[in-house]
Amino acid sequence: MPTDSEPWAIDARGLTKTFGTVTAVRGLTLQVPSGTIFAFLGPNGSGKSTTVKLLTGLLAPTAGEARVSGRVVSLQDLELRREIGILPEDDALFPDLTIWEHLELCGRLYGLSRQETAARAIQLLRHLDLEHGRTTVVEKASFGMRKKCALAMALVHNPRVLFLDEPFEGIDPGSSRNIKDLLLALAERRVTVFLTSHILEIVERLAERFALIVKGEVVCCQDVADLEREGTTLEELYLGYAGKPDAENLGWLGHR
């Protein structure tokens, strides 16, 4: 729960985003306490990534307001950018820089000294098993390497709130385990993690609380621990809200 000295890490009220006639996010209200791993789930195109962009000031809301670390989120708030780390949906890397150059540039932009950036970058690359690829130009890097690079960039400046859009997508099991351990350790140190993922098993083991968004509206927000008490699983709950596609009409598949 928030206190005067430590407000909600993320506090969104009535957040709405429309693009032309399409409403991507409708009246989203949610609060995330500090030091929580919060999972934001939903089917493809339900508004997860748009929500991440709204909460990180990469997109302006049509209505409503969001606060992160007590600061009102706005497009040009540089202080907010220093407080948060973002792993965007599309990695947003620079194709002609090496992985090492990405971290070097990123650390310097967040105001770290060259030495400190280098020291942190080495540790992060080691932890993410990316040391061997440090001189690889991103354009030639594999999908997993790019994802790890983007994750390291989100972490290098030691943010208080982390927004991770699909952090486990395309990551090998060893690195995936390392990332999970790292996120748990961060939560213990009061860093807030807001992540989206489609891998419900990981979410169930990692997150303390989750919200489910369907067609731009949050339909469920609760603690993961409550699932056990309710005698259900995250997958059952998810499919209950998001619906299960009917495969009956695909009877023609396999018959040639």
Specify the residue for token string 């948060």: 84
* 194 close to 55: Cβ distance less than 8 angstroms: yes
Q: Which is nearer to another protein, 106 or 213 (CB)?
A: 106
Q: Tell whether the torsion through CA atoms of 79, 85, 90 and 92 is positive or negative.
A: positive
Does the protein bind another protein through residue 24 (CB under 8 A)?
Answer: yes
Q: Which is nearer to another protein, 21 or 115 (CB)?
A: 21
Contact code string over 90-129 relative to another protein, x by CB under 8 A = --xxxxxx---x---xx-xxxx------------------
Subset of residues 154 to 193 that bind another protein, contact rule: CB under 8 A: none
Q: Which of 3, 5, 22, 249 binds another protein (CB under 8 A)?
A: 22
Which residues on neighbouring strands pair with residue 192, listed in sequence order?
A: 161
* Beta carbon of residue 75, minimum distance to another protein (angstroms, whole number): 6
Q: Token digits for 41?
A: 């789930």
Q: Choose the binding region for another protein from 31-39, 77-85, 192-200, 220-228 (rule: CB under 8 A).
A: 77-85
Count of residues for the chain? 256
Would you call 187 exposed, middle or buried from its count of C-beta atoms within 10 A (0-12, 13-18, 19+)?
Answer: buried
* Beta carbon of residue 96, minimum distance to another protein (angstroms, whole number): 4
* 93 close to 133: Cβ distance less than 8 angstroms: no
Q: Choose the binding region for another protein from 26-34, 65-73, 89-97, 185-193 (rule: CB under 8 A).
A: 89-97
The single-letter DSSP state of residue 118 is: H
CA distance linking residue 125 with residue 142, whole number of Å: 15
- Name the site residues for another protein (rule: CB under 8 A): 19-22, 24, 50, 56, 58-60, 75-76, 78-79, 81-82, 86, 88, 92-97, 101, 105-106, 108-111, 137, 139
